[in-house]
C-alpha cells in the first residue's frame, strides 16, 4: 500500500541547531578552553545531514514510488559546491603567499583532495606518516568532513532505495533495517577506535553511524507524520518536553571537559545521541521554549551562515596565525577570528550561496548541466590548485632527503638485520618512531661489523608503561601495540643489549585515574618513572644490559622549512628547544640507571645540537626532517659514536679494525 506523499517543510529551529554546531567548532579551533572538545559540532552536522537528506528522499521514494537521482545530485551540487570551491581557491592563494615552499609542497595534496572530495582519506594517510603528521595542520584540514558527507550523498540514495524495495515500501521495516545498520555502525566504530583511532575519526565508514542515526530520526518523523491527519505540530506534553533540552545539554556537555578524559568515540556517541534527542524533541514540541529560542533571528541567521562559517573559520585561523594577526591568548583569538569568520560567511552567503540557490532546476536540461558541471568544476579547481601551489625541484629534493627510507605505515613493526658473525652480539631496539629512524643505520652498522639488530617500534608509542594519549586525545593501547610484543621478542631473542628509545613520552599527556597530566605537571614525572621501571623489570630476565637513550634535542620549528626558501644553510640553524619536563625526565632516567648495575644512559645532545645550537646541515647532510626526527643520512653519521658510547660501560658491540695505510 502506498504511503501518502507528505511534504517536508522548513523547520526554523534547525537553523538554530546548525548555529550551535558551527559555533562549537569555531570556538574550539579558536582555542576557547571551555570547549576543549568542541569538535563534536561536526558530529551534530553529520546527524543533521542524515536527518535532512533522508527526510527528503524517503518522502520521494515511499510517497511517489520513484527517485529522481539527477534532481537530487543537481540540488546537492547547487547547494554545496560554489562556496566550497570559492573558499578553497582563496585559501590556496593566501597559503601560497604566506607558507614556506616546503609547507606548500606538503600541503598541496590536501588541497587537491579537498577539491575532489576525498580529503578525509588523504588526511588519514597523512596522519599515518609521521613526517607529515608532526607538522602544522593544513589550512583545508576541515574539508575532510565535507568529503565524508559528499561520499554519503553519492551512495545513500541508492542504498535507501534498495532498502525500501527490500522492505516492499513498508516504512517500519525500512526504519528497522536502518536502525540495525546504525547499531552495527556504532559497534564497528567503537572497535575501530580501540586500535585505529585515526581511521575511526577520518574514515567514511567510521562516521556512517552518525549519518544513519539522523536517517533513523527522519524515518521516525515520516512514520509519525504519515499516521497523523493534522499538521506536524503537537500539543506540548510532559512526556516529551524534556527531550530537546536534554539533548542540547548532552551535546554541550560532550564538548566540554565535563566527562574528563572520555575518548573521541565516547564523546561522538554522546553528541549524536544528544542531537537525536534534540531533533525528536523539536519535532514533538515545535512550540516549546527551546524551539522558540532556536528560531529567533540571530540563531537563524547564524544557521543560514553555518555552512560558510565552517568553510571559512579554519583557513581564517591558520592563515591569520601564519601572518601574525591572531593573538596567542584565546580571548583575543576568539574576538578576532569569530567576527572575521562571520563577516566572510555573510558575504559568501549573499554573493555566492543565494545566487546559486536561485538557479532553477525545473527542467531536465538544467539538472543535467548542473550535475555535469559539478565534477568538471571540481577537476578544474584541482588543476588550478596544482598551478597556484607550485613545487620546485629544489623542494622535491629536500623532501626526498628528509623522508629517506622511513616507513609511513602505522602499527608495530619488527625488523631484524641479517648481520651476525663470530661475536654474534644481539641488540633489541624498542620504542616509538625515534626507534624507527635509528633502526636502519644500526642495522647497516651491524651487518658491516658482525653483529645483529632487531627492532620493535610503533609510531607514537613510548616504551615506559604509561597510558599516554595520541593526536586525537585518545589513550593509546601501547601495552598491546608495542610493549608486550617487545617483551615477547626479548624472551625469544635473549638479546645482549636492549636499547630503549622514545621521544613521544616527553611530549604526550599521561592518563591517570584523576585525569590527564601534561609533561611537567606535578605527578607526571612520577608516573613516567614508575612506568619506566616497570618495563625495565619486564625485560630483566631476558637481557644482560639495558641502555636508555636520552630524549634527543628538538627545535621549535622545522629547519627544512627555512632551507626550502633557498637561503644559506647556516641561516637556518636554530637553538635547541627544551619542552617542559624533558630535562627532569632525562635526569630521572640517570637516577634509575645509577640504582641498577645493568642499566645505563646514552646522551647524544652534544653530537646533534652542539652547545645548544642545532645545525640544519652538517657537511652537506640534512640533520632534521622536522622538529624532532633526524634524517636517515644524519643518523647514519652518528651511529659509530653512538655504539662507542654504548660500549663505554661494558664493551659488547664488535667494531671492525680501522684499516691502516
Q: Please state, for a pLDDT cut of 70, what percent of the chain lies above it.
A: 91
Decide: 550 and 601 in contact? Cβ < 8 Å.
yes
Does 534 fall in a domain? yes
> Which of 391, 422, 457 corresponds to the end of one domain?
391
Average pLDDT rounded to a whole number, residues 498-512: 91
pLDDT at position 407 over 50 = no
* DSSP assigned state of 455: E
Residue 9 or residue 658, greater confidence = 9
Gap between the Cα atoms of 559 and 631, Å rounded: 12
Pairing relation of β-strands 426-431 and 510-512?
A: unpaired
Do residue 167 and residue 56 come from a single domain?
A: yes
Do residue 368 and residue 447 come from a single domain?
A: no
| Whole-number pLDDT of residue 154 | 95
Does 3 fall in a domain? no
Q: The domain spanning residue 470 has which CATH number?
A: 3.40.50
Do residue 416 and residue 369 come from a single domain?
A: no
Residue 231: count of CB within 10 angstroms of its CB: 9
Do residue 309 and residue 443 come from a single domain?
A: no
- pLDDT band with cut points at 50, 70 and 90 for residue 409: very low
| Whole-number pLDDT of residue 236 | 47
| Whole-number pLDDT of residue 515 | 77
Do residue 324 and residue 425 come from a single domain?
A: no
Do residue 188 and residue 123 come from a single domain?
A: yes
- pLDDT band with cut points at 50, 70 and 90 for residue 130: very low
Range from 89-93, 237-241, 359-363, 418-422 carrying the lowest mean pLDDT: 418-422
User: How many domains are contained in the chain?
Assistant: 2
| Whole-number pLDDT of residue 8 | 74
Residue 246 or residue 223, greater confidence = 246
> Which of 363, 391, 419 corresponds to the end of one domain?
391
Gap between the Cα atoms of 92 and 104, Å rounded: 9
pLDDT at position 368 over 60 = yes
Decide: 99 and 322 in contact? Cβ < 8 Å.
yes
- pLDDT band with cut points at 50, 70 and 90 for residue 129: low
> Which of 348, 370, 391 corresponds to the end of one domain?
391
Do residue 385 and residue 412 come from a single domain?
A: no
Average pLDDT rounded to a whole number, residues 41-47: 97
Give per-residue pLDDT as tens, 175-223. Answer: 999 999 999 999 999 999 887 888 999 999 999 999 999 999 999 998 8
- Residue 504, phi then psi, degrees to nearest 5: -60, -30
Range from 56-70, 197-211, 598-612 carrying the lowest mean pLDDT: 56-70
Euclidean distance between the first and the last CA atom of the chain, given in angstroms as a whole number: 98
Do residue 88 and residue 226 come from a single domain?
A: yes
Does 490 fall in a domain? yes
Pairing relation of β-strands 510-512 and 515-517?
A: antiparallel
Q: What is the DSSP string of 207-269?
A: GHHHHHHHHHHHHHHHHHHHT-SS-S-----TTTTTHHHHHHHHHHHHTSSTTTT--HHHHHH
pLDDT at position 660 over 50 = no
Do residue 62 and residue 164 come from a single domain?
A: yes
Do residue 227 and residue 298 come from a single domain?
A: yes
Domain that holds residue 435: 404-557+580-613+639-649
Place of cell 548532552: 250
Pick the closest to residue 78 from 351, 353, 362, 344 (CA basis): 353
| Whole-number pLDDT of residue 134 | 58
| Whole-number pLDDT of residue 168 | 86
Gap between the Cα atoms of 640 and 411, Å rounded: 29
Count of alpha carbons within 13 angstroms of residue 403, beta-carbon side? 15
Q: How far is CA 457 from the centre of its chain?
A: 21
pTM: 0.87
Give per-residue pLDDT as tens, 568-604. Answer: 999 999 999 999 999 999 999 999 999 998 999 999 9
Does 630 fall in a domain? no
| Average pLDDT across the chain, whole number | 89
pLDDT at position 128 over 60 = no
| Whole-number pLDDT of residue 654 | 77
Gap between the Cα atoms of 279 and 294, Å rounded: 12
Give per-residue pLDDT as tens, 98-117. Answer: 999 999 999 999 999 999 99
Does 618 fall in a domain? no
Do residue 384 and residue 467 come from a single domain?
A: no
Does 661 fall in a domain? no
Give per-residue pLDDT as tens, 267-299. Answer: 999 999 999 999 999 988 888 899 999 999 999
| Whole-number pLDDT of residue 5 | 46
Pick the closest to residue 574 from 615, 607, 610, 608 (CA basis): 615
| Whole-number pLDDT of residue 472 | 60
655 three-class SS: coil
pLDDT at position 2 over 70 = no
Does 657 fall in a domain? no
Amino acid at each position: 500500500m502506498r504511503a501518502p506523499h507528505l511534504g517536508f517543510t522548513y523547520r526554523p529551529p534547525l537553523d538554530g541547531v546548525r548555529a550551535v554546531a558551527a559555533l562549537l567548532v569555531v570556538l574550539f579551533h579558536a582555542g576557547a578552553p571551555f570547549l576543549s572538545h568542541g569538535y563534536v559540532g561536526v558530529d551534530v552536522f553529520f546527524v543533521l545531514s542524515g536527518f535532512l537528506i533522508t527526510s527528503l528522499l524517503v518522502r520521494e521514494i515511499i510517497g511517489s514510488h520513484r527517485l529522481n537521482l539527477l534532481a537530487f545530485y543537481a540540488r546537492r551540487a547547487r547547494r554545496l559546491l560554489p562556496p566550497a570551491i570559492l573558499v578553497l581557491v582563496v585559501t590556496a592563494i593566501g597559503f601560497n603567499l604566506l607558507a614556506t615552499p616546503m609547507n606548500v609542497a606538503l600541503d598541496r595534496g590536501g588541497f587537491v583532495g579537498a577539491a575532489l572530495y576525498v580529503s578525509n582519506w588523504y588526511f588519514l594517510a597523512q596522519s599515518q606518516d609521521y613526517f607529515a603528521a608532526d607538522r602544522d595542520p593544513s589550512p583545508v584540514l576541515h574539508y575532510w568532513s565535507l568529503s565524508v558527507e559528499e561520499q554519503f550523498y553519492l551512495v545513500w540514495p541508492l542504498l535507501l532505495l534498495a532498502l525500501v524495495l527490500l522492505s516492499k515500501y513498508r516504512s517500519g521495516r525500512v526504519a528497522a533495517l536502518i536502525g540495525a545498520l546504525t547499531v552495527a555502525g556504532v559497534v564497528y566504530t567503537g572497535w575501530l577506535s580501540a586500535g585505529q583511532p585515526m581511521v575511526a575519526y577520518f574514515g567514511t565508514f567510521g562516521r556512517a553511524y552518525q549519518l544513519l542515526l539522523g536517517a533513523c530520526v527522519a524515518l521516525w518523523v515520516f512514520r509519525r507524520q504519515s499516521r497523523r491527519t493534522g499538521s506536524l505540530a503537537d500539543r506540548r506534553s510532559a512526556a516529551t518536553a524534556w527531550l530537546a533540552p536534554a539533548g542540547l545539554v548532552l551535546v554541550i556537555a560532550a564538548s566540554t571537559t565535563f566527562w574528563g578524559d572520555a575518548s573521541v568515540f565516547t564523546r561522538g556517541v554522546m553528541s549524536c545521541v544528544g542531537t537525536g534527542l534534540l531533533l525528536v524533541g523539536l519535532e514533538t514540541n515545535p512550540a516549546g521554549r527551546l524551539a522558540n529560542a532556536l528560531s529567533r533571528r540571530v540563531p537563524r541567521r547564524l544557521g543560514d551562515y553555518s555552512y560558510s562559517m565552517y568553510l571559512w573559520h579554519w583557513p581564517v585561523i591558520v592563515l591569520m596565525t601564519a601572518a601574525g594577526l591572531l593573538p596567542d591568548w584565546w580571548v583575543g583569538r576568539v574576538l578576532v577570528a569569530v567576527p572575521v569568520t562571520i563577516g566572510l560567511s555573510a558575504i559568501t552567503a549573499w554573493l555566492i550561496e543565494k545566487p546559486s540557490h536561485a538557479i532553477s532546476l525545473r527542467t531536465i536540461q538544467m539538472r543535467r548541466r548542473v550535475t555535469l558541471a559539478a565534477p568538471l568544476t571540481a577537476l578544474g579547481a584541482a588543476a588550478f590548485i596544482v598551478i597556484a601551489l607550485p613545487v620546485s625541484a629544489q623542494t622535491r629534493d629536500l623532501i626526498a632527503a628528509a623522508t629517506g627510507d622511513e616507513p609511513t605505515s602505522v602499527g608495530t613493526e619488527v625488523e631484524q638485520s641479517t648481520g651476525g658473525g663470530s661475536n654474534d652480539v644481539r641488540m633489541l631496539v624498542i620504542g616509538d618512531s625515534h626507534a624507527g629512524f635509528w633502526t636502519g643505520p644500526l642495522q647497516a652498522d651491524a651487518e658491516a661489523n658482525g653483529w645483529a639488530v632487531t627492532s620493535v617500534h610503533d609510531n607514537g608509542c613510548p616504551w615506559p608503561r604509561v597510558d599516554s594519549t595520541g593526536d586525537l586525545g585518545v589513550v593509546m593501547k601501547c601495552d598491546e601495540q608495542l610493549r608486550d610484543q617487545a617483551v615477547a621478542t626479548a624472551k625469544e631473542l635473549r638479546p645482549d643489549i636492549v636499547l630503549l628509545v622514545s621521544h613521544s613520552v616527553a611530549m604526550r599527556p599521561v592518563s591517570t585515574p584523576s585525569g590527564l597530566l601534561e609533561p611537567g605537571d606535578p605527578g607526571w614525572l612520577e608516573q613516567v618513572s614508575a612506568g619506566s621501571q616497570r618495563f625495565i623489570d619486564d625485560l630483566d630476565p631476558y637481557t644482560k644490559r639495558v641502555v636508555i637513550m636520552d630524549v634527543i634535542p628538538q627545535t621549535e620549528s622545522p629547519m627544512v622549512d627555512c632551507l626550502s626558501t633557498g637561503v644559506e644553510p647556516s641561516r637556518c640553524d636554530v637553538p635547541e628547544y627544551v619542552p617542559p619536563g624533558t630535562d627532569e625526565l632525562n635526569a630521572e632516567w640517570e637516577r634509575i640507571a645509577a640504582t641498577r648495575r645493568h642499566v645505563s644512559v646514552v646522551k647524544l645532545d652534544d653530537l646533534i645540537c652542539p652547545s645548544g645550537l642545532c645545525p640544519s646541515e652538517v657537511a652537506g647532510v640534512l640533520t632534521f626532517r622536522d622538529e624532532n626526527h633526524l634524517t636517515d643520512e644524519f643518523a647514519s653519521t652518528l651511529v659509530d659514536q653512538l655504539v662507542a658510547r654504548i660500549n663505554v660501560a661494558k664493551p659488547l658491540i664488535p667494531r671492525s679494525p680501522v684499516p691502516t695505510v
